[in-house]
């Protein structure tokens, strides 16, 4: 009860706070990242994502960007700001307001040798491209008998924002998790945002890359140079012994505020940022549950058919005998 109350209170505080006032200290776990030695610097998340895009476009001439207002306007949250000046209007391509059309174009480009980054101005709009993502992006490698790869990154802002309508505040991971053949990644810090985007661009698999609309202005350290992080690994945010808390995206900060209150009361929770929403990092998840024997899932997604529901089902199926209490899901 104390844990639920603390998280609820902290969620309310974070919701009222401006995203520009959130400070980030990225956490690292052994084996989760491959780092080439470079000096650290502090940037905002949108800047880190822009750096990753710029570095990969410079490294690989097959990388390109397409979407609504990604060119001369610089993207709805400036992730592609001024890149058209460096790479031209064809590699940073402004598209019409037609999600189904430019998503199909991106998938076709990926099939024929390019590595497109397709930006959804808001992830909620990508429901208009669901057919392309489901029937083509996710399935073409299988239905072509392995003849085609689809190395496309589908990225953009999502989540519950401030002063946004319901159709701009959806968590679409619940929709996309059932599509065969696609990976789902949710970033949460400046460090993992840049490292994971670079890894996603280099991957031969289609990646749906979730960024939270309220995290673009958080600040944190990143690295110059070639810094990549595994797309399939969770991140240990805090080690503990009393309960395993699984979370991702913006809710990582809500959980850590709640944990600060719980520490004062003598609790010692373990916090894991899932990062990979499909597939789950069951090695890290299993190790944590075997240690604490309790699991709590905290997410912004809907409870019915959401990521938490899927994770709860997997834990109950594969780790039931390791649990001392039923899995609780705060969605």
Q: Using omega within 30 degrees of 0 as the cis cutoff, is the peptide bond preceding 148 cis? A: no
Catalytic residue among 47, 51, 56, 99: 99
Instruction: Please report where in the chains the tokens 């945010």 appear, as a residue.
Output: 237
Query: Which one, of 294, 309, 189, lies nearest residue 252 by Cα?
Result: 189
Choosing from 141, 168, 212, 223, the catalytic residue is 168
Question: Which string of DSSP letters, residue by residue, matches 110-129?
Answer: HHTT-EEEEEPSSGGGGGGG
Q: How far apart are CA 137 and CA 153, in angstroms?
A: 10
Active site residue 56: no
Nearest to 295 by CA among 263, 265, 266, 320: 320
Q: What whole-number distance in Å separates Cα of residue 17 and Cα of residue 8?
A: 15
CA–CA separation, 209 and 33 (whole Å): 18
Distance CA 65, CA 303 (A): 33
**Token duo for residue 151:** 């190395």
d(CA 162, CA 273): 23
Let me know if 168 is a catalytic residue: yes
| Residue 208: strand, helix, or coil | strand
166, burial (CB in 10 Å: exposed 0-12, middle 13-18, buried 19+):
exposed
Among left, alpha and beta (phi > 0; psi -120 to 50; other), residue 88 is left
Active site residues: 99, 168
């Amino acid at each position: 009860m104390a844990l639920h109350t603390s998280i609820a209170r902290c969620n309310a505080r974070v919701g009222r706070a401006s995203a520009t006032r959130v400070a980030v200290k990225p956490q690292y776990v052994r084996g989760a990242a491959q780092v080439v030695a470079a000096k650290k610097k502090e940037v905002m998340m949108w800047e880190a994502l822009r750096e990753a895009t710029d570095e990969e476009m410079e490294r690989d001439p097959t990388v390109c960007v397409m979407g609504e207002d990604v060119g001369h306007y610089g993207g709805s949250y400036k992730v592609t700001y001024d890149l058209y000046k460096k790479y031209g209007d064809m590699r940073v391509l402004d598209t019409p307001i037609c999600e189904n059309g430019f998503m199909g174009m991106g998938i076709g480009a990926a099939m024929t040798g390019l590595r497109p980054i397709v930006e959804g101005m808001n992830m909620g709009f990508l429901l208009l491209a669901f057919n392309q993502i489901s029937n083509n992006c996710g399935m073409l490698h299988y239905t072509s008998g392995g003849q085609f790869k689809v190395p496309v990154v589908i990225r953009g802002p999502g989540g519950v924002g401030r002063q946004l309508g319901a159709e701009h505040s959806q968590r679409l991971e619940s929709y996309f998790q059932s599509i065969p053949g696609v990976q789902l990644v949710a970033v949460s810090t400046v460090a993992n945002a840049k490292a994971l985007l670079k890894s996603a661009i280099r991957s031969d698999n289609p990646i749906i890359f979730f960024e939270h609309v309220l995290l673009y202005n958080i600040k944190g350290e990143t690295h110059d140079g070639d810094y990549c992080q595994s797309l399939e690994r969770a991140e240990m945010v805090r080690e503990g012994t009393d309960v395993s808390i699984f979370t991702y995206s913006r809710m990582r900060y809500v959980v850590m505020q709640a944990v600060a209150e719980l520490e004062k009361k003598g609790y010692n929770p373990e916090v894991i940022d899932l990062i990979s929403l499909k597939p789950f990092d069951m090695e890290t998840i299993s190790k944590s549950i075997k240690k604490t024997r309790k699991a709590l899932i905290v997410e912004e997604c809907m409870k019915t058919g959401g990521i938490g529901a899927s994770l709860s089902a997997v834990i109950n199926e594969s780790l039931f005998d390791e649990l001392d209490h039923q899995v609780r899901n705060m969605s």
